[in-house]
Chains A and B, each alone.
Chain A
Amino acid sequence: MTNTPVELVNVTIDGVEMQVPKGTLVIRAAEQIGVQIPRFCDHPLLEPVAACRACLVEIEGQPKPQPSCAVTVTEGMKVRTQHSSVVADEAQKGVMEFLLINHPLDCPVCDKGGECPLQNQAMSNGRSESRFDGPKREFEKPINVSAQILLDRERCVSCARCTRFADQVAGDPMIALLERGAHQQVGISDDDPFDSYYSGNTIQICPVGALTSAKYRFRSRPFDLVSVPTTCEHCASGCSLRTDVRRGVVQRRLAWDDAQVNEEWNCDKGRFAFPYAQEGRLTTPLVRGEDGVLHAASWPEAIAAAAAGLNKARGGRAAVLAGGRHTAEDAYALSKFARGVLGTDDIDFRARPHSAEEATFLAARVAGLGLGVTYADLEAAAHVVLVAFEPEDESPIVQLRLRKAVRRGRTHVTAVASHVTEGLYKLNASMIEAKPGAEVAALAAADINDSTVVLVGERAATVPGLLSELVRITDQAGAKLAWIPRRAGERAAIDAGLLPGLLPGGRLVTDEGARHYVASVWGVDAGLIPATAGRDFSGIVGAAAADAYEALLVTGFDVDDTAHPDATLAALQRAPFVVALEQRPTAVTALANVVLPVATVTEKSGTFINWEGRARQFAQVLRENNTLTDARVLAMIADAMDSLIGRQDVAQVREEIARLANHNGPRAAAPAVEATVVDGLTLGTWNQLLDHGTMQAGEPFLAATAREPLARVSAETATAHGLSTGDTAVISTTKGSISLTVQVIDGVDNTVWIPTNSEGSHVRVALGAAHGTPVTLSKGGAH
């Protein structure tokens, strides 16, 4: 970052002389001296529109009051706001009176009542009584602009924040202002609902109660809510959120302001997908009895049963399958429990298609490295190259930040991808077309140099040689490289060492010094920690099927997300003893010997590490449920196994993690795997943002805004297989097939793209396939 001196200008506001950077809007300058000018259409992250006229102020030399939201300060400017100008005060009061004449004033039944800018500013900057006694304009209410978003048009003040957000920030101009005059209203095109991934933000920035969510409408009053700052548990974007609770129940979540990360936005999944933590939870420990059936058990009984089973597996006869959704603290405790208590290095968080090359890459280039490429770097980059990564689906705030950068005109995005997606279109991305599995060869055309940031996604793991080549190219060019996982817990899992061969902080199990240091922090015998790398996820699954283990410790993933769900299930079935730490009943529950219910993100404090490597600490929202974290449960089991690893509460774990940071010793070397050539038709796939993910359960309004699962093929590929848009395509492997409606798109030939885990398209379960897998394509019967 270069430090260019900021040019300052002198401005006087209400008699207060001040200096602000040139280009500052008058309304922002006033904020700096604590002068709040009323506003509706103004929003710091949207372009000025000067439509509502609530912010009129007097500027010396101007014959008319000026909108302070659209006028930038100039040298020597003298501004008088409502505090020192009768003209400004009268103008503001006049606008406020106008805004209320057609507003229903139904505050007592409106969701916004109590946190409403119109309500507040009518009190602070309005007349005490309205002179209007005529009939108000009426509309049918409410109307759905999407399954989730409801619109009460009579409440709208036409500030156009929502439509400008949709157009400028999200790039989803599916809502617009229609009609004119007092009949002006927000609306959608017929049969084209506002199914934007970011639609919920419009509710939050609506300065009145015109936009509400089906999820929250009429559920609560703002003054009955207790608000807690939290971090989103869904993807690795790391959004700052505010969680609002009423009587022990989460009512809603809002995007919270974090200029470095999510600015003031979040995605609809982060906003609405929280009911999974409220309904259908496991409430008591379960222990499988002599009768082979799971019975509710007390905690001491369940802990004793788990300890007994795991005791038999000590010294390398156990494995840990962890999932990618743990907090840093829980992931750390799992790592410690595996090595320090069970004495195994057979541990992996990658409950998804993965590779040894990926594990090496993560150990070499991600583990323990802290803050790397940041959102600010994306915004400042001249060129961003996306490889095997679809930001809108996989890390939606990365998408927003890239769009912001692109709209500023200084950043260019190139995508190495099979087709132009909705998301890439909104980034105005240049395409380097690559068949899934053939990305390595395409990289040469990407013009990667020292002002390039390369972002690579999780499906790079299934393209042999891709991560190796990216490391080589970016190192050579001096470019920045960032790996962006899909799940909130993956970065922390890597830092904690939930990978075979990897100890916390990027240390290697093969490094004797590291083993001793880690053991000293853990307070365990260094000899307990295996000195050779263990098996990865698929290795564990295979070994379990071959009776390698006495016990499996399983926590935090959906079997159907794993590379081969059948094999995973078979391994769990085969294992003599399975301990499951779970939030909700899953396929694992039915196969476990001991099931221990653990806290969801609302019930604990913790830390997520987002894709940047930024620690995102959050506070506990709910105390009522009295649930335990994974870390606390593991500590109790360890106690019962006479292996003292401490309480493992958040404070203790954080202190230990801090001691294990800043590793300067040997690290893994970058992978060097040769690319392979994949002939024939291959599968392209990733998880769409809104799909059948377990953590989206229980929110039908959100689910209804998901994109329609379609099989996307190029025109030439479609023709070659006798397909056209609207036909049914059958995508098959030796394992099975998926039938989906065809969409002919602009993209590379000899590939078919389908969503990984959407309605009618469960790629892992049905096909046992991953991105880049050869598949066959044919035409199905009438759809």
Chain B
Amino acid sequence: MVLTPILTAHWDEADSYTLAGYKRHHGYVAFAKALKTDPDAIIQTVKDTGLRGRGGAGFPTGMKWGFVPQNDGKPHYLVVNADESEPGACKDIPLMLANPHSLIEGVAIASYAIRANHAFIYIRGEVPHVIRRVRHAVDEAYRAGLLGENIQGSGFDLDVVVHAGAGAYICGEETALLDSLEGRRGQPRLKPPFPAVAGLYASPTVINNVETIANIPYIMRNGVDWFRQWGTEKSPGFKLFAVSGHVQRPGIYEAALGTTFRELLEHAGGIRKGRKLKFWVPGGSSVPMLTEEHLDLPMTYEDMAAAGTMLGTGTPMVFDETTSVLKAVSRWLQFYKHESCGKCTPCREGTYWISDLLKRLEKGEGKMEDLGTIEDLCRQISGRSFCALGDAAATPFPAAMKFFRDEFEAGISTPADQAFNPLSSTVFVKAKG
């Protein structure tokens, strides 16, 4: 496998985050080209590339843009979902830190394509340094005449607002994000109407992930065939894979879609010395876990789906044998319980109940029927909650039970900390052997 440094190509340069640094590597050439192109042709190009959303759901980006009704007399909006909060996901935030102009140029091209004159970048509020950096980059772009009124004499106006979230995971759900952006309490909206028809301020809105939008300038500059040289028919292109956990070199590896997890793991230096892989989660805590038997799976949307999981955010979390699966799942459920917005019953009450039962199991005080109860509760949440947060919360337990049922059963008598010394799974523990 070869790495494909495109978005990450110049992250090691001292001024990679500046306009000058970005321009040195053909920055904003694509935007200039776009301004001379028919917007519909840009949408068609994106459709032709087969680019799929990098935020987790993998929805075809060009199709999403094509849903926006044109000549409807309403303002259109582009909203960038930079609320990266998924446990395990850490790719958008480094991207915005190291190469914010690729995002801004992407925003400019996408806005031009969907005829939006106002774009918002909604960044999670817990990362003020990233918010500062993106704001700085936006300021630079304004000063250089790349944003604002009548950009480069093209007659195209675009204002970009960098908005800080207030610390709710649910605001990564696109309609909750819109509510939050409108100044309301972030809770998902009833669909239909879908955002493409009535999104922000009840106007047609496209919501895309940071990485998706950052792909756009490169596609615009190099074309469909260039993009499709990587990946598969259904998962074309390249991706930021953020590998974390019990590996030698955790980090972001930009590689072609279709790269196997084994290859990714090799790039990350393999499992910690003297340890072996126990389980891994391909794309954030919301997707089902896999084990060693899945090492040779290509990292594509379709292969992951075939294996019963999802590519998700493409940010594998790797766990070695020192990890208590029970504790990992319990932590995730506590996260979902904490972040459940409260709107719908299954998610609000289900996460409360399941995390309570898991804590009991963690302490070795579980009951035999608890496992069956949790499995059933997950079924009651999955597909019955209002938004995907509930589905996500119902994901880790059944997947873990498939591979590690015995560990959960041990929770009836043995505290997890007794079965797995918590110290041994930490990063600062002395390497074994």
Contact = CB atoms under 8 A, between A and B. Distances in A.
B190 A70 contact: yes
A52 B343 CA distance: 8
A95 B373 contact: no
Given A98-B380, A134-B356, A135-B356, A182 B346 contact: no
Interface residues on A, range: 35 or more
B342 A91 contact: no
Interface of B is mostly: helix
B202 interface: no
Contacts of B352: 101-102, 137, 181-182
Contacts of B337: 181-182
Q: Which of B343, B346, B373 has the most CB of A within 10 A?
A: B343
B263 to A, nearest CB: 34
B349 A98 contact: yes
A99 B342 CA distance: 12
A2 B168 CA distance: 50
B340 interface: yes
A95 B383 contact: no
B399 interface: no
Contact of B168 (A70, A101, A180, A184): A180
B345 A157 contact: yes
A50 interface: yes
A98 B342 contact: no
Nearest to A132: B353
Contacts of A181: 337-342, 348, 351-352
A48 B348 contact: no
Q: Which of A54, A65, A181 has the most CB of B within 10 A?
A: A181
Interface string B350-382: 111100110010000000010001000101100
B112 interface: no
Interface string B317-348: 00000000000000000000111111111101
A94 B378 CA distance: 10
A158 B347 CA distance: 12
Contacts of B168: 180
B170 interface: yes
Nearest to B184: A176
Interface string A40-68: 00000000111111101000000111000
A157 B345 CA distance: 8
A98 B341 contact: no
A97 B379 CA distance: 13
A184 B356 CA distance: 18
A20 to B, nearest CB: 19
B346 A53 contact: yes
B385 interface: yes
A472 interface: no
Nearest to B382: A64
Interface residues of B, number: 32
A226 interface: no
Interface in A161-178: 176-177
Contacts of B350: 98
A56 B385 CA distance: 10
Given A64-B383, A181-B348, A49 B342 contact: no
Contacts of B344: 50-53
Nearest to A176: B185
Q: Which of B185, B348, B350, B369 has the most CB of A within 10 A?
A: B348
A22 interface: no
Contacts of B353: 98, 101, 132, 134
Contacts of B360: 134
A260 B190 CA distance: 30
Nearest to A157: B345
A94 B342 contact: no
A735 interface: no
Contacts of B343: 51, 158, 184
B349 A99 contact: yes
Given A50-B386, A51-B386, A131-B373, A95 B351 contact: no
A430 B360 CA distance: 61
Interface string A93-133: 01101110110000000000000000000000000000110
A127 to B, nearest CB: 11
Contacts of A158: 342-343, 345, 348
A206 to B, nearest CB: 16
A183 interface: yes
B136 interface: no
Contacts of A177: 185, 342
Contacts of A97: 380
B384 A56 contact: yes
A50 B385 CA distance: 10
A179 interface: yes
A134 B357 contact: yes
A90 to B, nearest CB: 8
B349 A182 contact: yes
Contacts of A134: 353, 356-357, 360
A739 to B, nearest CB: 40
A180 B341 contact: yes
A650 B173 CA distance: 63
A346 to B, nearest CB: 61
B340 A180 contact: yes
A627 B358 CA distance: 67
Contacts of A157: 345
Nearest to A98: B349
Contact of A180 (B170, B346, B369, B384): B170
A95 B350 CA distance: 9
Contacts of A179: 342
B224 to A, nearest CB: 32
B360 to A, nearest CB: 8
A70 B338 CA distance: 27
Given A50-B190, A101-B349, A137-B352, A182 B380 contact: no
A94 B384 contact: yes
A53 B342 contact: no
Contacts of A53: 344-346, 384-386
Nearest to A100: B349
Contacts of B338: 181
B348 A184 contact: yes
A580 B243 CA distance: 90
Interface of B: 168, 170, 185, 190, 337-346, 348-353, 356-357, 360, 369, 373, 377, 379-380, 383-386
The 5 closest A-B pairs by CB, nearest first: A184-B342, A94-B380, A98-B349, A64-B383, A181-B340
17 contacts: A48-B190, A52-B345, A53-B386, A65-B383, A95-B346, A97-B380, A99-B349, A101-B349, A101-B352, A102-B352, A134-B356, A158-B342, A176-B185, A180-B168, A180-B339, A180-B341, A182-B342
Interface of A: 48-54, 56, 63-65, 70, 90-91, 94-95, 97-99, 101-102, 131-132, 134-135, 137, 157-158, 176-177, 179-184
Given A134-B360, A157-B345, A181-B352, 9 more contacts: A91-B380, A98-B345, A98-B353, A99-B345, A102-B349, A176-B185, A181-B351, A182-B348, A184-B341
